[in-house]
Amino acid sequence: MTQSMPTKKAVHFGAGNIGRGFVACFLHHSGYEVIFADVNGDLIDKLNSQPSYTVIELGSDGTTESTISNYRAINSRTQEAELVQEIATADVVTCSVGPNILKFIAPVIAKGIDQRPGDLPPMAVIACENAIGATDTLADFIKEPQNTPSERVESMGDRARFANSAIDRIVPAQDPDAGLNVKLEKFYEWVVDRTPFKGSSPPDIKGVQWVDNLQPYIERKLYTVNTGHATAAYHGYNRRKSTVYDALQDRSIQEEVRKALSNTAELITQKHGIDEEDQKEYVEKIVRRISNPHLEDSVERVGRAPLRKLSRKDRLIGPAAELAERGGDCSGILDAAEMAFRFQNVEGDEESFELGKIMAEKKPDEVVQEVCGLQPNEKLYPKLVDIVKRVQADSQDE
Ligand SMILES: NC(=O)c1ccc[n+]([C@@H]2O[C@H](COP(=O)([O-])OP(=O)(O)OC[C@H]3O[C@@H](n4cnc5c(N)ncnc54)[C@H](O)[C@@H]3O)[C@@H](O)[C@H]2O)c1
Ligand SMILES: O=P(O)(O)OC[C@@H](O)[C@@H](O)[C@H](O)[C@H](O)CO
């Protein structure tokens, strides 16, 4: 008689687009039972009532489908005790909830880690967000005294290992009638830091690329894919384009994207010693990917949360500030930042309303300090103050 291997278990926070379409899909195909945790009750009910859903990859050469099953779903707002138990015995905990939500999921993960039975190896915790060091941010919240008793922090490595990651796959907003099914691009890249697993084994997730130095991967991804994407979306929004594809059909917007990406290429190649030709090819691939007509990716989704996207370490101000300090050209990124400041009061986007309020009420210096986290002694500072002044003056003229 053959003994079947016990199923591996992963808890994934955020059963949204990238969660269902990419992370859970890879975990499923690697043999994990996936427990989704989300605050959206309707989504939880749908997942629990439907035994499978379909992931549809869209490419110029047609579509490919795969079926995802062997999952359950837990409402993280109302079923905390069950969720803690699932986390305590999970092999992997992942999340794709948005960088600003990490602090809200930290308390329950902390409880689960703290209750991990002593005979189990450490679980792997991997945040899959568009942010540099997102898992470190999550780990810092988990280790706060209100979440983990301070005497338990030192031994936490016996119960959990925290690995940063860079995750890349375009998953647009889904059709309202798509149910749980997810349409996404064929391309994917999921790079994870291997170094936290020294003395233990990294989890077996097919398709993950394990590296010893994640920094060049995450900076190249965020400052190329996401800088280019945001540039197309913000210019596109301000010129009334509806999708990123439409925006890129406009030659002048495509030039803006290339200008911003030539700025970030200078930073990435110099800072990380990446070959210029390799970076050129990478940029061309990104321009092709974001121009995919099948994705129908709205400029509102890609531009969403402008306060996050204009923050100090994100895809616009992050590379622009570094370039300015090095004496490099960041004019293309600054053009995109100006368009981001104009992304105000967009229906369904809370941050864009908050941005509108800040722009209406605060002085330019206050805006730059509060929104972009820049200080007057930084080289980029006066350029952003000028941009804010211009946007505010234009709003008064309207
Ligand atoms: N969509 C993409 O192309 C893509 C690609 C790479 C990375 N990402 C990143 O993945 C993250 C999620 O993006 P998305 O496009 O899947 O967004 P999404 O809105 O489709 O999914 C987010 C999910 O998180 C859930 N959520 C919110 N608060 C929660 C909480 N407190 N606890 C549990 N769940 C909670 C929401 O209900 C939603 O289901 C973001 O950081 C994004 O930058 C997205
Ligand atoms: O998810 P955001 O809001 O950080 O950025 C919007 C898009 O640029 C992003 O979701 C991309 O589709 C994704 O990062 C591609 O890998």
pLDDT, tens digit, 9 for 90 and up, residues 163-196? 999 999 999 999 999 999 999 999 999 999 999 9
User: CA torsion sign, 172 to 176 to 180 to 183?
Assistant: negative
Question: Strands 189-193, 165-168: parallel, antiparallel or unpaired by DSSP?
Answer: antiparallel
Cβ-Cβ contacts under 8 Å for 283 (sequence gap 6 or more): 224, 228, 258, 261, 262, 265
- Phi, psi of 162, deg, nearest 5: -110, 120
168 lines ligand 2 (CB under 6 A): yes
Name the 3-class secondary structure at 30.
Answer: coil
Residue 5 banded pLDDT, cuts 50, 70, 90: low
Taking the centre of ligand 1 as the mean of its atom positions, its distance from the CA of residue 370, in whole angstroms, is 25
C-alpha–C-alpha distance, residues 259 and 383, integer Å: 17
362 with 341: CB under 8 angstroms?
Answer: no
C-alpha–C-alpha distance, residues 278 and 281, integer Å: 5
C-alpha–C-alpha distance, residues 16 and 182, integer Å: 9
Nearest-CA residue for atom 16 of ligand 2: 168
Mean pLDDT of the chain: 96
- Which alpha helices (H) appear in 5-100, and where do they start and end? 17-18, 24-29, 41-49, 80-88
Residues lining ligand 1, Cβ inside 6 A: 13-19, 37-40, 43, 76, 96-99, 101, 104-105, 129-130, 167, 169-171
> Whose structure tokens read 């010893």?
212
Nearest ligand, measured from the Cα of 75? 1
Q: Pick the catalytic residue: 9, 111, 183, 221?
A: 221
Nearest ligand, measured from the Cα of 304? 2
Cβ-Cβ contacts under 8 Å for 6 (sequence gap 6 or more): none
316 residue type, one letter: L
Nearest-CA residue for atom 7 of ligand 2: 302
Q: What's the ipTM?
A: 0.99
CA angle 246, 253, 251 (to 5 degrees): 80
Stretch 246-264: mean pLDDT, rounded? 98
Taking the centre of ligand 1 as the mean of its atom positions, its distance from the CA of residue 358, in whole angstroms, is 25
User: CA torsion sign, 367 to 372 to 377 to 378?
Assistant: negative
pLDDT at 11: 98
Taking the centre of ligand 1 as the mean of its atom positions, its distance from the CA of residue 98, in whole angstroms, is 5
Structure tokens at 50: 């439907």
Name the 3-class secondary structure at 92.
Answer: strand
Taking the centre of ligand 2 as the mean of its atom positions, its distance from the CA of residue 130, in whole angstroms, is 7
Residue 4 has pLDDT above 60, yes or no: no
Q: Which atom of ligand 2 is nearest to the CA of 18?
A: 10
Q: Bridge-partner residues for 208, per DSSP?
A: 190
Stretch 124-139: mean pLDDT, rounded? 98
117 with 84: CB under 8 angstroms?
Answer: no
Q: Among residues of the chain, what percentage have pLDDT more than 90?
A: 95
Nearest in space to 87 (alpha carbons), one of 52, 125, 32: 125
Residue 2 has pLDDT above 60, yes or no: no
Domain 8-213 bears CATH identifier 3.40.50.720: yes
What CA–CA distances, in Å, run from 288 to 283, 315, 316, 336?
Answer: 9, 19, 21, 19
Nearest ligand, measured from the Cα of 187? 2
Nearest in space to 105 (alpha carbons), one of 95, 113, 114, 115: 95
Residue 60 has pLDDT above 90, yes or no: no
Segment holding 299, helix H or strand E: helix 299-303
195 with 212: CB under 8 angstroms?
Answer: yes
Q: Which atom of ligand 1 is nearest to the CA of 170?
A: 3
Q: Is 221 annotated in the active site?
A: yes
Q: Kindly report whether the global pTM for this prediction surpasses the value 0.95.
A: yes
Residue 258 has pLDDT above 90, yes or no: yes
Break the chain into its structural domains and give their ranges: 8-213, 216-397
Other CB atoms within 10 A of residue 67 CB: 11
The pick from 96, 130, 289 for probing ligand 2's pocket by mutation, whose C-beta has the most ligand atoms within 8 angstroms, reads 130
Q: Among residues of the chain, what percentage have pLDDT more than 70?
A: 98
Q: Which atom of ligand 1 is nearest to the CA of 168?
A: 6
Residue 311 has pLDDT above 90, yes or no: yes
C-alpha–C-alpha distance, residues 83 and 35, integer Å: 9
Topology alike, domains 8-213 and 216-397: no
Taking the centre of ligand 1 as the mean of its atom positions, its distance from the CA of residue 97, in whole angstroms, is 4
What homologous superfamily does CATH list for 216-397? N-(1-d-carboxylethyl)-l-norvaline Dehydrogenase; domain 2 (1.10.1040.10)
pLDDT digits (tens, 9 = 90+) for 203-226: 999 999 999 999 999 999 999 999
Burial of 262 (0-12, 13-18, 19+ CB in 10 A): middle
